[in-house]
Amino acid sequence: MFICNFKINSKKIWKVCLVVLTILIIALLIFAIFKIVSTSKSNLAESSDVIEITTDEYTNFLKASHESINNYVGKTYRLTGYVYRLPDFSSTQFVIARTMIIDNNQGAVIVGMLSECNIAQNFDSGCWIEATGTIKKGNYNGEIPILEISNIKTIKAPEDEFVYMPVD
């Protein structure tokens, strides 16, 4: 027969429980602080990121940004296209344009994003550019998104200058 005699010391049990509880609280606080810091850093990175609009995404981007402007306002985008002007544009306005093929018989239209740039007059109509800017609400025959350009440079025309109908 085996007999085991245990003495329970309630003071020691409370001390052990208190130490374990303190360690858990400290661990939770460290984890919470880490999550807050890492979340704020990632949100900062997302807000400063530039969203590149590729040739394949161009017309889908135009369609979506015109249909729901509020989802795009304040975000920064990089677009490529050629400078296209209409007679009623101000000296700081032009369209970052692409030629969109609309059917197999080579029917095409010019599409693009109205843009504003303080040095717009330095870029000739038809020259290819890469522009980075932030979307804002504007008015041109109704409310539309306008790219307020912060960085612009001349580029060579891409191999495929055309874009295609947006995907529904």
Reported as a single tens digit per residue, the pLDDT across 55-82 is: 999 999 999 999 999 999 999 999 999 9
Please tell me the distance from the alpha carbon of residue 162 to that of residue 74, in angstroms, as a whole number. 28
* Amino acid 4: pLDDT: 67
* Residues 82 and 29 occupy one common structural domain: no
pLDDT band with cut points at 50, 70 and 90 for residue 17: confident
Flag whether pLDDT at 113 surpasses 60: yes
The answer to the question of residue 1 being in a domain is no
pLDDT band with cut points at 50, 70 and 90 for residue 36: confident
Domain tally, the chain: 2
Flag whether pLDDT at 43 surpasses 70: no
* Residues 137 and 64 occupy one common structural domain: yes
* Amino acid 48: pLDDT: 56
- Amino acid symbol at 97: A
Q: What is the mean pLDDT of the chain?
A: 88
Domain that holds residue 25: 9-49
* Residues 22 and 103 occupy one common structural domain: no
Please tell me the distance from the alpha carbon of residue 47 to that of residue 128, in angstroms, as a whole number. 27
Flag whether pLDDT at 45 surpasses 60: no
3-state class (DSSP) for residue 40: helix
Please tell me the distance from the alpha carbon of residue 120 to that of residue 127, in angstroms, as a whole number. 12
3-state class (DSSP) for residue 56: coil
Q: What is the CATH classification number for the domain harbouring 99?
A: 2.40.50.140
How would DSSP label each residue in 147-168?
EEEEEEEE-PPPS--EEEPPP-
* Residues 93 and 127 occupy one common structural domain: yes
Higher pLDDT, 84 or 33: 84
Regarding pTM above 0.85, the answer is no
The answer to the question of residue 3 being in a domain is no
Higher pLDDT, 12 or 130: 130
The answer to the question of residue 113 being in a domain is yes
Max CA-CA distance within the chain? 107
CA distances from 46 to 18, 57, 166 (A): 42, 20, 26
Flag whether pLDDT at 2 surpasses 70: no
| Average pLDDT of the residues in 91-97 | 97
The answer to the question of residue 72 being in a domain is yes
